[in-house]
Structure 1
Amino acid sequence: MTRERSTDDGEAGDDSDASGASENATRRGLLRAAAGATVAGAASTAGCLGVTTPADVAARSEVSGNVGHFVGPSWLADNREDTVVLDARDADRFREERVYRARRVPFDAITARESTEAGDAPDTDAIATAFGEIGVSPEDDVLVYGASVGSRVTRVAFALAAVGHEGEIRVLNGGLSAWNGRLGTGSRDGVSSTDYEPDPASSTWVTREWLADRVGTFNGDGPGLVDVRVPEAYLAAAGSDALNDDHDRHGHLPGAVDVHWVGNVAGRQMTEPGRLVRLYEVEAELDRGGTVVVYGDDNVDPTSTWLTLKAIGFEDVRLYDGGFGEWANVDSDRGRYPVETATNVVIETEGSVGGDDDGGDFSCTG
């Protein structure tokens, strides 16, 4: 089976994380569980030992069970005509190959922040304008894809939620390589823009003042707080390359537990959901019925954990959009915000984020 490629000009790389952590993995043991839903399928030999066909990749990326937001390629094939498809990759990858009639998201715009008295927050006006410029309307059902299910993709999903998107928001499990339907190539500049009026969903994020008011309660009597950075950054490991030179101080927010976000991803797909349930509910001891806040160095990587928790049934998940960079560096009327290094809870994870799409070679060469 081959994938049909078409040039959709005039018709209106790698998404591992904002730092380009392709094939990045933590050095921890993968937590295993049999609970929950499964991501279906194993690769077929397709008549040639060790050879994977597009149909195999698509089948392996199907999603079954009680999983929200993530869908497989068969869902897209059945719903393509009624869904706005958004590409989260860079412009070069988009021009090279994409889902036919997909629209590329201006990534810098959907990560925009605004400064408020309470701290940094998503700039919902700028984000809504960016979606409007590529013809997205608030009521559209949307599917987002990239090279994998990395944090560029999940940031687009979060941005839609933050502006109060009314339509359904879904992510393609397996990324572009899982799609064996019609493809487009070339520039695409014929999409009509629209006015996207945001209805900001402030319950999707928190500010530094919201957090400061609750210091001392996280993962105890108060909300759960998850640091998604690598353990070395969370632990303020001296001499580690993971420490950001732009930060005045290192460590983590008091009471936060560390669960590196790459544990959510297995190559180009989401990690098996049963493992995720064990990781977050059993090991991290998060309450799926309570409020959970996620943060990282920036406002991109933590959206992977934000969407993953929602997908496995957590009811109230929020992003600290200002991130550790704001918390560690700002000096407000309240003085410096507390940073912790002495008390640490690191949940061991292992994962990898799929890298370059090479198009695949599906011939049997022996």
Structure 2
Amino acid sequence: MAPWRHLLNKVLPAALCLGLVGPAFAAKPDFIVDAGWLEQHIDDPNTVLLEVRYHPHRYYTVGHIPGAVQVQRFKDLGDNSGLPLMHLPSRAAFQASLREWGVDDDSTVVLYDDSRTALASRLYYLLELYGFDMEQVKMLEGGTVEWTVFNSLSQEAPEVEPGGVTLDSRDESLVVEWTDVYDDVVSRRDEDIVLLDARPEDHYSGETVAGAPRGGHIPGAVNIVSLDGTDGQTQTWHDLQELEALYDDLPREKTVYVYCHDGFRMTLAFMQLKALGFEDVRLYDGGWSHWGRALSLPVVEGGEPFDDTFDL
């Protein structure tokens, strides 16, 4: 470990207790770890390090943290036989991938990406969806940006001994289908449910068309951009106080349905909301890539949840 990290580990707790440290050091979720933590645990026999890059070839060209196994974000984290591709993978397919990556039931699984944890969040969500012990899952924020301050990258893929992890059946309380969204939000206007669109504002409004042939959003959806809870330069999360402010308009007692284009921004929102104490958060399997392609389903353009057609 770098010498400055030892000093920080001793000084920071005391500074927090004395009130000498400002909001920049506010608490983050306990599943978030930094490069110093990884330096201490990277050689532990139970540690499995998984990388999800935006451009998969950079695993071999730019390089990766030594020992990290490559996860290809589309091929490995979606249903390759369905359309759109990023429907949730089956238990059997995801379990087979985890075993190929060397994951056992007692593994400590450390995830990172180069996209402000949005890509790795999909992997985090899938582990929870299929019943892996989430106490054993960590998210490395900062990715290679923080790691390379004091450490080097590797371009060699590690030799992996297959694992034997056994997953549970899918937790249906974490998923909704398009029929649930249509019934609960568009049709019945269930007051106990909030539909959250985690995409950029210009995608929500329809100004930018991406991920489907149509632009806009699902009628009734409110827009909170999950990536706004992260720092694009440092690849880190904002502190919990800032996340509170970002999601301040969402009532905690309600069920939150979340969607995005292809299943990454919404899983980041899932992690953020869970970190803030939201108890009932469910993801729309397929998201806008599904809804926007189903040309019979209604769409709203503009900055409001409903337009004149759907407004009460």
Identify the TM-score tier after normalising by the shorter chain: 0.7 to 0.9
**Which secondary structure state, in structure 2, belongs to the residue aligned with residue 136 of structure 1?**
coil
Question: Where does residue 193 of structure 1 map in the other structure?
Answer: 162
Q: For residues 57-96 of structure 1, what are the structure 2 equivalents within 5 Å?
A: 65=27, 67-80=29-42, 81=44, 82-89=46-53, 90-95=55-60, 96=62
Q: For residues 203-282 of structure 1, what are the structure 2 equivalents within 5 Å?
A: 203-216=173-186, 221-237=191-207, 242-244=208-210, 246-247=212-213, 249-267=214-232, 268-281=235-248
Question: Where does residue 75 of structure 2 map in the other structure?
Answer: 109
Residue 91 of structure 1 deviates from its aligned partner by 4.7
Q: For residues 23-62 of structure 1, what are the structure 2 equivalents within 5 Å?
A: 39-40=24-25
Q: Structure 2-normalised TM-score?
A: 0.76
Residue 65 of structure 1 deviates from its aligned partner by 2.0
Residue 262 of structure 1 deviates from its aligned partner by 2.2
When residues 104 and 245 of structure 1 are mapped into structure 2, their CA distance, relative to the original with a 3 A threshold, is closer
Residue 162 in structure 1 maps to residue 129 in structure 2: yes
- More RCO (CA 8 Å, sep 6+): 1
Q: Is the 8 A contact 1:111 1:299 kept in 2?
A: no
Q: Deviations over 1:142-189 (max 9, x none)?
A: 111123523212122122222221242221121122235655523225
Q: Structure 1-normalised TM-score?
A: 0.66
Residue 216 of structure 1 deviates from its aligned partner by 4.3
CA separation in 1, counterparts of 2:98 and 2:65?
Answer: 18
More helix per residue: 1 or 2? Answer: 2
Q: Deviations over 1:117-164 (max 9, x none)?
A: xxx544332222111111112432211112352321212212222222
Q: Deviations over 1:308-352 (max 9, x none)?
A: 222222222222121112123337xxxx33323367159xxxxxx
Q: Structure 2 residue aligned with 1:173, among 132, 141, 150? A: 141
When residues 121 and 87 of structure 1 are mapped into structure 2, their CA distance, relative to the original with a 3 A threshold, is closer
When residues 329 and 107 of structure 1 are mapped into structure 2, their CA distance, relative to the original with a 3 A threshold, is closer
When residues 321 and 307 of structure 1 are mapped into structure 2, their CA distance, relative to the original with a 3 A threshold, is same
Fraction of identical pairs, as percent? 26
When residues 208 and 139 of structure 1 are mapped into structure 2, their CA distance, relative to the original with a 3 A threshold, is farther
Equivalent position amino acid for 2:37 in 1: W
Q: Is the 8 A contact 1:70 1:311 kept in 2?
A: no
Name structure 1 gaps, 5 residues minimum: 4-36, 41-63, 347-366
When residues 316 and 38 of structure 1 are mapped into structure 2, their CA distance, relative to the original with a 3 A threshold, is farther
Count the aligned residue pairs.
276
When residues 217 and 142 of structure 1 are mapped into structure 2, their CA distance, relative to the original with a 3 A threshold, is farther
Equivalent position amino acid for 2:71 in 1: V
More strand per residue: 1 or 2? Answer: 1
**Which secondary structure state, in structure 2, belongs to the residue aligned with residue 101 of structure 1?**
coil
Question: Where does residue 265 of structure 2 map in the other structure?
Answer: 301
**Bigger Cα displacement from structure 2, 147-156 vs 174-183:** 174-183
**Bigger Cα displacement from structure 2, 193-202 vs 290-299:** 193-202
